Amino acid sequence: MPPFSVLVVGAGGREHALARAIAQDPQVIAVHVAPGNPGTATIATNHPVDQLDGAAVAALAVELGVGLVVVGPEAPLVAGVADAVRTAGIPCFGPSAEAARLEGSKSFAKDVMASAGVPTADARVCTTADEVAAALDEFGAPYVVKADGLAAGKGVIVTHDRQAAVDHAAGCDRVVIEEYLDGEEISLFVITDGTTCVGLQPAQDFKRVGEGDTGPNTGGMGAYSPLPWAPDDIIEQVLATVARPTLDELNLRGIEFSGLLYCGLAMTSRGLRVVEFNARFGDPETQALMGLVETPVGQLLLAAATGTLADFGEVRWHPGAAVVVVMAADGYPGTPAKGGAIMLPPDREDAWVIHAGTALDPDHDQLVAAGGRVLTVVGRGPDLAAARHQAYALVDEIDFPTGFVRRDIAARVLAGDPA
């Protein structure tokens, strides 16, 4: 494969982690990010382009002469940015707008899973208060109510409080109400060129804002990988029962999905069930996986974007584990406090900071909070305990008085639960 440069689209922690890993690929000459953040600026060139504007992203990719565009977040995918880049003749990692509906519409995803025979929670799509009431009564508590469109991880409520469930549904045009799934959650990412599927090692994400998995859902407050408790054949199981049947069903509908299929799974007492699909890398699980991947990431994503994954082989991983801890701004996932000053210690060999919602204060050249999830701290080590120690030791050196972390990321697994 000749050397090539890469444009990463997005501005969050996932994009910083991807850009950092891609920059380490020996075949990659240069990495660009649009629009990026102060963290990506330290390892790549940022370009102030609207990530939702497909024509502008495609024009930038042509101007830079990149060999690959990687679209990170769901919003540009749903807006058709990958389509615009491919139309301009540049290989793109990320599904078309049509295929990204697998994430953009919960009801579409449910319909595809039903046709494909993929195990998931039984669900009803509701548009009226009467339908909502009937579905809540049919499934009983705990109630699971999901807004149908994109909601940055905050459109779902899981509650025993029937009135809260009714109120959440009333705030959305169209909701999916579904059966509650018990058991541990697994995030398993499948890279596909539309034909060949390659599974990445599983991770676990911490969705709730509060310690002990309490409080509202967020985009994710931390993660770890690998999962010592997951079955050895989890990747093959998910490819066979979830990913391949889903991609086949999309193909039957004339939709090719290429890019990353994020399978959010619950290991329920009745077996594996899909909780959700996303059409892109997960955040913050990606920050953990990018700390462990040995395969050159630029070449892997280019193979997926050019339909040559079958010749690429399996993804290789460094031994050991990674733990990531998100530092969020006070108020998140409600209204986050903006502008809080941040002082960062230097990165270490086995612990580093990934930027998400940060900005540079134009007057003082001071790093400040500019979003809900502000930083992800990644720790790596020979095992989960060591990786966790690395992550929290660096967290403790960060001066960010208007931010907070969960102190219990990967604590339960180290205490033997899940076993």
24-32, 81-89, 173-181, 314-322 -> range binding ligand AMP (CB under 6 A): 173-181
Burial 56-65 (b: 16+ CB within 10 A, else e): bbbebbeebe
Closest contact distance (angstroms) between CB of 279 and ligand GLY is: 10
- Reported in sequence order, the residue ranges of 269-416 that DSSP labels E, i.e. its strands, are 271-278, 321-329, 351-355, 358-361, 366-369, 373-381, 403-404
8-16, 43-51, 52-60, 177-185 -> range binding ligand AMP (CB under 6 A): 177-185
The binder of 217, among ligand AMP, ligand GLY, none, by C-beta within 5 to 8 A per type, is: ligand AMP
Does position 219 interact with ligand AMP (CB under 6 A)? The reply is no
- Say if residues 201 and 233 touch (Cβ distance below 8 Å): no
Rounded (10°) CA dihedral 218, 219, 221, 224: 140
246 φ/ψ angles, rounded to the nearest 5 degrees: -70, -45
The binder of 282, among ligand AMP, ligand GLY, none, by C-beta within 5 to 8 A per type, is: ligand GLY
Closest contact distance (angstroms) between CB of 180 and ligand AMP is: 4
Calpha distance 352→354 (Å, rounded): 7
Does position 108 interact with ligand AMP (CB under 6 A)? The reply is no
The binder of 36, among ligand AMP, ligand GLY, none, by C-beta within 5 to 8 A per type, is: none
Does position 156 interact with ligand AMP (CB under 6 A)? The reply is yes
Number of neighbouring beta carbons within 10 Å of residue 327: 25
Token code pair at residue 378: 């990644």
Long-range contacts of 126-130 (CB under 8 A, 24+ apart): 126/169, 126/174, 126/175, 126/176, 126/177, 127/173, 127/174, 129/166, 129/169, 129/170
Residues binding ligand GLY (CB under 6 A): 153, 205, 219-220, 278, 282-283, 285
Q: Which is nearer to ligand AMP, 105 or 192 (CB)?
A: 105
Does position 207 interact with ligand AMP (CB under 6 A)? The reply is yes
Quick one: how far is CA 282 from the chain centroid?
1
- Say if residues 154 and 218 touch (Cβ distance below 8 Å): yes
**CA-angle at 148, arms to 246 and 217, nearest 5°:** 95
Closest contact distance (angstroms) between CB of 153 and ligand GLY is: 5
**Contact with ligand AMP (CB under 6 A) among 9, 66, 121, 221:** 121
Does position 279 interact with ligand AMP (CB under 6 A)? The reply is no
Calpha distance 144→20 (Å, rounded): 37
- State which residue has the least CB distance to ligand AMP: 276
Instruction: State the residue for tokens 């991807």.
Output: 18
174-182, 196-204, 253-261, 319-327 -> range binding ligand AMP (CB under 6 A): 174-182
The binder of 323, among ligand GLY, ligand AMP, none, by C-beta within 5 to 8 A per type, is: none
Q: Which is nearer to ligand GLY, 15 or 283 (CB)?
A: 283
**Contact with ligand AMP (CB under 6 A) among 50, 111, 131, 185:** 185
Angle between helices 106-116 and 244-252 (to 10 degrees): 100
Does position 384 interact with ligand AMP (CB under 6 A)? The reply is no
Closest contact distance (angstroms) between CB of 122 and ligand AMP is: 9
- Say if residues 121 and 144 touch (Cβ distance below 8 Å): yes
What residues from 237 to 276 belong to the interface with ligand AMP (CB under 6 A)? Answer: 264, 275-276
Task: Give the interface with ligand AMP as residue ranges (CB under 6 A).
Answer: 121, 144, 146, 156, 158, 178, 180-181, 185, 207, 217, 264, 275-276
